[in-house]
């Protein structure tokens, strides 16, 4: 179990993180696609050449999975995160190809205290996945829940 370093209070708007790059290989792209997204432009280098992409590309879901791993390795496993209700937005902008080096850039956009539970809150994040050319290939926004370091106290009656 990794010790908790970051709580809800630490993710103030403007907080940022950028991961080290992770380079995808043809072998990884094909293996992921065969298991989870077996479309030919993800699984067959020869067939992919005649696709609109002109070559093998990673599944968008593979790109999201890499982003999740980069997030976990970079900071998430050191947090008090207690889950997320999902993504608010997900967009794929550019194909990811073998040899692309992906990195994750995370930005905290806002914090919201829980109205029901004073021991937690949510943080709205934007996560951008960039390639080695600094192009955003994928972008997501979502609101994970985090435990608070110090539970909120009720405002005194006036």
Identify each DSSP E strand in the chain by its residue range.
16-18, 22-23, 87-92, 101-113, 120-130, 136-142, 145-147
pTM given for the model: 0.92
Q: Per-residue pLDDT tens for 119-135?
A: 999 999 999 999 999 99
Q: Which CATH number fits domain 8-147: 3.40.50.300, 3.40.50.12280, 3.10.129.10, 3.40.50.720?
A: 3.10.129.10
Q: Per-residue pLDDT tens for 20-56?
A: 999 999 999 999 999 999 999 999 999 999 999 999 9
Above 90 in pLDDT, residue 60? yes
Each domain of the chain, given as residue ranges in start order, spans: 8-147
């Amino acid at each position: 179990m990794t010790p908790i370093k970051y709580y809800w209070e630490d993710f103030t708007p403007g907080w940022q993180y950028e991961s080290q790059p992770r380079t995808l290989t043809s072998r990884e792209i094909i293996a992921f696609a065969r298991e989870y997204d077996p479309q030919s432009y993800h699984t067959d280098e020869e067939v992919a050449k005649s696709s609109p992409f002109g070559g093998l590309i990673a599944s968008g879901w593979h790109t999201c999975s890499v982003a999740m791993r980069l997030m976990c390795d970079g900071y998430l496993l050191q947090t008090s995160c207690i889950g997320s209700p999902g993504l608010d937005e997900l967009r794929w902008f550019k194909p990811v190809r073998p040899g692309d080096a992906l990195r994750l850039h995370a930005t905290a956009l806002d914090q919201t205290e829980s109205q029901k539970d004073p021991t937690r809150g949510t943080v709205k994040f934007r996560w951008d996945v960039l390639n080695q050319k600094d192009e955003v290939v994928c972008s997501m926004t979502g609101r994970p829940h985090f435990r608070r370091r110090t539970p909120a106290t009720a405002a005194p009656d006036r």
